[in-house]
Amino acid sequence: MNYVEEIAKLKKEKNAIILAHYYQIPEIQDIADYLGDSLGLAQAAANTQADVIVFAGVHFMAEMAKILNPNKKVLLPDLDAGCSLADSCPPESFSKFREKYPDHIVLSYINCSAGIKELSDVIVTSGNAIQIVESFPRDQKIIFAPDKNLGGYINQVTGRNMLLWDGTCEVHDQLTTEALINLKKLNPDAQVIAHPECDGPVLALADMVGSTTAMLKYTQQTNFKKYIVASETGILHEMQKCSPEKQFLVVPKDETCSCNDCPYMKMNTLEKLYLALKNESPEISLDQKVMERAKTPIVKMLAISKQLGLI
């Protein structure tokens, strides 16, 4: 079966759109109608005219698309495509934590469940987090959830003291300074770029820190021949496509392995995507009230991002 052709036929028939994150396998990235980072994907989901959205990403992303489009069908090729970061922040425990700090507002990274989104005041992504934090007065008390690495990085850049939930992304958090330093020794001419989900000591060694889209743009707008990328492997596909003459090296987990693949992102395959479109399943369904409450902080994020000229 030629999945690419069959998917194209079904998309037309059903007025469907494929939204894909940069961490998807290259074959999926290449057939996406929109390929982007979480901020771009949220914007694409908010603006689509399609009747069916196939979200080639993980569960929290498809949930976000459903929350923004409660009357549309949102499909996720593999319902088990979760996220360690989202899982590190269960709504029941977070709710108890939040109750202890009634004078704090809650800013949550988009990598969280709808249950956390409904407990949040504003959602942020790695593409707008610093600017959104800075849009609040300096004396505003803030809880930041769920990523302690991104939160710590924002605290460091902005000089704030946000209270951090203790969550991490298992893919980025495992990258070590040792592996990065070893790779840099072998490639002293390479620029080091890192995603803010990496931990502080790794970020401290980077020449540039940013979201997947920001890193991609940086590789297009600078003239280095080589880049060491402290992030997930998927992003290298688009980097290499946009700059075929440059070399991209991913920071290995350790000396023997370069397994920087997010196990959840990589659950989606062309076959599963084809079947999802054909069967219109697995579909994301959420409680109406949860969707209404979770929508407010996402819409706020999009409005602030627009106001700040970020989208």
Task: Give the tokens for residue 310.
Answer: 């970020």
> How far is Cα 153 from Cα 209, in angstroms, rounded to an integer?
9
Burial status of residue 24 (CB atoms within 10 A of its CB: 0-12, 13-18, 19 or more) = buried
For 225, other C-beta atoms within 10 Å of its C-beta total: 12
Q: Is 262 in the site for ligand SF4 (CB under 6 A)?
A: yes
84 binds, among ligand 13P, ligand SF4, none (CB under 5 to 8 A by kind): ligand SF4
Q: Is 38 in the site for ligand 13P (CB under 6 A)?
A: yes
48 binds, among ligand 13P, ligand SF4, none (CB under 5 to 8 A by kind): none
Least Cβ distance, residue 234 to ligand SF4 (angstroms): 9
Burial status of residue 283 (CB atoms within 10 A of its CB: 0-12, 13-18, 19 or more) = middle
> How far is Cα 41 from Cα 311, in angstroms, rounded to an integer?
11
Parallel/antiparallel/unpaired status of strands 16-21 and 52-56: parallel
- Residues in binding contact with ligand SF4, number by CB under 6 A: 14
Shorter beta-carbon distance to ligand SF4: residue 111 or 305: 111
264 binds, among ligand 13P, ligand SF4, none (CB under 5 to 8 A by kind): ligand SF4
Q: What is the DSSP letter of 36?
A: E
Least Cβ distance, residue 254 to ligand SF4 (angstroms): 18
> Site residues for ligand 13P, window 98-117 (CB under 6 A)?
111
Q: How many CA atoms lie within 13 A of 250 on its CB side?
A: 21
> Contact letters (x/-) for ligand SF4, 64-93, by CB under 6 A?
-------------------xxx--------
Contact in structure between 175 and 160 (CB atoms under 8 Å): no
**Position among 37, 78, 232, 238 found at the interface with ligand SF4 (CB under 6 A):** 232
> How far is Cα 162 from Cα 154, in angstroms, rounded to an integer?
9
Q: Is 260 in the site for ligand SF4 (CB under 6 A)?
A: no
Query: Tokens 């840099």 appear where?
Result: 184
Q: Is 260 in the site for ligand 13P (CB under 6 A)?
A: no
Query: Tokens 């249950």 appear where?
Result: 115
Shorter beta-carbon distance to ligand 13P: residue 74 or 169: 169
212 binds, among ligand 13P, ligand SF4, none (CB under 5 to 8 A by kind): ligand 13P
Q: Is 305 in the site for ligand 13P (CB under 6 A)?
A: no
Task: Provide the Cα torsion 111, 114, 115, 120; round to 10°.
Answer: 70
Shorter beta-carbon distance to ligand SF4: residue 110 or 143: 110
Residue ranges binding ligand SF4 (CB under 6 A): 23, 58, 83-85, 111, 169-171, 197, 232, 262, 264-265
